[in-house]
Structure 1
Amino acid sequence: MKLLVSLLVAGTFLVSGALMASAQSNDGSGLTVTKCSSCHTLKRVCRSLGKKDLAAWQKTNERMVKKGMTVTDAQLATINQYLVDAKPGNDVLCQ
């Protein structure tokens, strides 16, 4: 019985975690926060919000990949688009 309850609880956490990851990846905020903050503070990213266009973010993040950021091409595209659309001061990254 204890095993059954433990499995049920573990399953619930797995499903809720998958749903949260899916929700975060829809807008790119969670992915961007995770990848960018793994090497430097988000203040550094916030200083560039609203100043860089898509080409500039692509160049910046290609450099980050060369320095060791591990992302798929799809994740990189999501991060780049998120950063282009992010508004300085009103964004999750800058709070």
Structure 2
Amino acid sequence: MANGSSRWLGALLGPLVLTAGLVMTLGTLLSGCGDKTPPGEAVAMRACRICHGADRICADIGKLDRAGWEKTVDRMIAGGANVTPEERIVVIDWLSARKPGDKSLCP
């Protein structure tokens, strides 16, 4: 009887542990790895700066509205930017809320 219970418990706990691990990983990613960096900025620093320097990214800060950033980010993803669907939303939110001269990513 205990052996059957162990299998049932293992079958139940395995997916729960995996799900908890994925949730924790996503939480860490979206929180900027535990520091005070806004999640969208953390994505931009990781994904966008691989090909673009801060100057290039900041050139459009405050010039593009949300639709403009959606088009730009989608073009970058189509070109190979490593951005998940969840990160896409976070980085577009962050970029579209920036004003010219905002600090952090932009010097």
Q: Is the 8 A contact 1:61 1:76 kept in 2?
A: yes
Q: Tell me the number of residue pairs that the alignment of Structure 1 and Structure 2 aligns.
A: 78
Q: What RMSD over aligned residues (CA atoms) do the two structures have, in Å?
A: 2.0
Question: Which protein has the larger Cα radius of gyration, Structure 1 or Structure 2?
Answer: 2
The runs of 5 or more residues in structure 2 that have no matched partner are: 1-27
Q: Would you tell me which structure has more helix in proportion to its own residues?
A: 1
Report the Cα offset of residue 64 of structure 1. Answer: 0.3
The runs of 5 or more residues in structure 1 that have no matched partner are: 1-17
Report the Cα offset of residue 20 of structure 1. Answer: 5.5
Q: Structure 1 vs Structure 2: percent identity of aligned residues? A: 31
Report the Cα offset of residue 35 of structure 1. Answer: 1.1
Q: Which residue in the other structure is 1:63 paired with?
A: 75
Q: Is the 8 A contact 2:41 2:94 kept in 1?
A: yes
Q: Runs of 4 or more off by more than 3 Å in structure 1?
A: 22-27
Report the Cα offset of residue 72 of structure 1. Answer: 1.0
Kindly tell me: are residues 33 and 20 of structure 1, through their superposed partners in 2, closer, same or farther at Cα, counting changes over 3 Å? closer
Q: Is the 8 A contact 1:61 1:80 kept in 2?
A: yes
Greater relative contact order, per chain length (Cα 8 Å cut-off, separation 6+): 1
Q: Which residue in the other structure is 2:105 paired with?
A: 93
Amino acid of the structure 2 residue aligned with 1:42: A
